[in-house]
Amino acid sequence: MKENRKKKEYILEYDLIFVNVLSIVLLAIMILLTIILFNVLPSSLVGELTRKFTEVEIENNFMLLYVIFFIVMIFWMVLHEIIHSIAYQMTGAKSENIVFGVALEKGVFYCKCKEYISKKCIITSLLSPFIIIGVLTYILGFIINSSWLIILSIINISGAAGDLMMFAFFLKQKDDIEFKELGYSSPFVLRTSDNLAEKKFLGIKSIKEVTDSKETKEDPEKKLTITKPSWIFIIIMLVLLGLMIGIEGFNKSNEKKNDNHSEKYNELLRNEKTYELAELYLEKNKVWDIKKENFIDEYPNLSFKFTSDAKTHDNIYLIQDDKEKNIISGVPIMYTYKTDLTGDGRPEVIANVMFGYGMCDSHIEVYDIYNDTKYVLWDRGNYDYYLYYVDEELKVIKISYDRSAEETYQGILKFVKDENNSASGYLTIENEKEI
């Protein structure tokens, strides 16, 4: 008690302009660091991450992906404040003196500690979110190939600018300093034996010595407070998201009506007589996921690698004795299978390859590993070929490339050997019939 009488109270306020500039600098640093890591990390990891950054796997619904990411990002910000509160309590603060709030007009979610806490307590709380869901999750994102985790970690590190500024501030203070928050976590109150009135600190807008105890007292607060402007903002955002989703759905509906080629194919999949063709999308158990299983049992000395340079360029490599050979390329490669098509008792690599998006040629490529030979089923400019696996056979859907026509065929993918050369031949469709 004797020591407390020597202390004075000061009200300090952040320089929000400085914090925002620091946040942008941190964002730029993290983006630059990520680019550097992309250039020094193994190509297989970078290829996988590049694919995930550029690929949308939720039924190509970009708007849905953005909405989901927005929701996850909000959760990430809330998690940031929850970690603050846990750190507060683990280092001495009482649960009843911790409140949460949303003040979007000030651009903050906040966790507020209404009691005086020690230097150790505030430093621990300031650093915890930055380390746990910033630095550690950023590293984890590269380890588990999660582009979402990397992006969220970068956002959190950038958003921790104020925490890092305050951490640097408290490192310079005496160990007897005590801290509590006012308002929406800015301004805040310090109690210390040091004279702060004549000092200046980077990122601190103002320092005022407390002359009346009423200046540091606040009315009771709810455990969770959402300001009126925040409610208005939330409602507006929900309405806008609803409108955007509705507009996206309307546009997709119009695109579908105007795309006879796509509509014909979708109708084919819905037709009860050819319902098994939906295996192409619904059951992929026969598809070979090279990223997870990069080998073929019959070739123990070989391995395979799938890379994606960008959204429109996929590659499959065969690796032997540390030497890589590109065996299939696509824009993109849709599905890959490993099965014996040539009948020699050894599986081949079989891929459904596209040659661009929209108005494109979809074709089939077969790489005969044993004979180091490639076979292609491709009628450029006339038909698109779609490969799928059903009834223990590789089957083909052949659709007229001319959008004014409605010719669609189905058959079984077969390899025909050259009578004069057992190591060569060509691909064809057996039992082809119009649907």
pLDDT given at position 312: 59
Tell me the helices (H) and strands (E) count for the chain, helix number first: 11, 19
In a shared domain, residues 192 and 299: no
Domain around 204:
2-226
**166 and 251 co-located in one domain:** no
When divided into structural domains, the chain yields a total of 3
Domain identity same for 245 and 328:
no
Rounded distance, CA 212 to CA 308, Å?
65
Same domain assignment for residues 297 and 337: yes
What's the pLDDT at 326? 93
Taking the C-alpha atoms of residue 21 and residue 177, their distance in angstroms, rounded to an integer, is: 27
Report the run of H or E that residue 89 belongs to, with start and end: helix 62-90
pLDDT at 281: 43
61 and 202 both lie in a single domain: yes
Per-residue pLDDT, 48: 54
User: Would 267 be classed as within a structural domain?
Assistant: no
pTM over 0.75, yes/no? no
Residues 362 and 249 in one domain: no
Q: Is the dihedral of CA 167, 168, 173, 174 positive or negative?
A: positive
Burial class (CB in 10 A: 0-12, 13-18, 19+), 73: middle
Cα pseudo-dihedral 383, 385, 390, 394, rounded to 10:
110
Residue 92, in any domain of the structure: yes
Residues 306, 204, single domain; the answer is no
| CB burial readout 182-210, b (16+ within 10 A) else e | bebbbbbbbbbeeebeeeebebbeebeee
Q: d(Cα 170, Cα 120) in Å, to the nearest integer?
A: 9
Domain match, 321 and 301 both: yes
Together in a domain, 51 and 167: yes
Same domain, 313 and 406: yes
Residue 385 burial (C-beta neighbours within 10 Å; 0-12, 13-18, 19+):
buried
Q: Is residue 160 part of a domain?
A: yes
Is 266 inside a domain boundary? no
Residues with Cβ < 8 Å from 245, sequence gap 6 or more?
63, 64, 67
Alpha-carbon distances of 362 from 157, 170, 330, 344, 373, rounded to whole Å:
43, 62, 9, 27, 20
- Give a yes or no: residue 110 inside a domain: yes
Q: Are residues 181 and 60 in the same domain?
A: yes
In a domain, 357, yes or no: yes
pLDDT in tens, the chain (435 residues): 344 457 889 988 888 889 889 999 999 999 999 888 877 766 545 555 555 554 444 444 556 666 777 778 888 888 998 899 999 999 988 988 888 877 776 667 778 888 899 999 999 999 999 999 999 999 998 888 788 889 899 999 998 998 999 999 999 898 999 998 887 656 889 999 888 887 888 888 888 888 887 887 877 777 777 777 777 877 887 787 777 767 766 666 655 554 444 454 455 444 543 444 444 444 445 788 888 888 898 998 999 999 887 555 889 999 999 899 999 998 888 889 999 999 888 999 999 888 765 556 788 999 999 999 999 998 877 888 888 777 778 888 888 766 555 677 888 999 998 888 767 889 999 988 887
Instruction: Check residue 406 and give its pLDDT.
Output: 61
In a domain, 265, yes or no: no
Nearest to 347 by CA among 416, 417, 288: 288
Any domain includes 361 = yes
Residue 390 neighbours by CB under 8 Å, 6+ apart? 276, 277, 279
pLDDT number for residue 106: 67
Q: Which residues contact 9 (CB under 8 A, 6 or more apart)?
A: 189, 190, 191, 209, 210, 216
**Among residues 357, 391, 379, 358, which one has the least CA distance to residue 277?**
391
Distance CA 355, CA 363 (A): 8
**Cross-strand pairs, 408:** 399
Q: Is 290 in the same domain as 180?
A: no
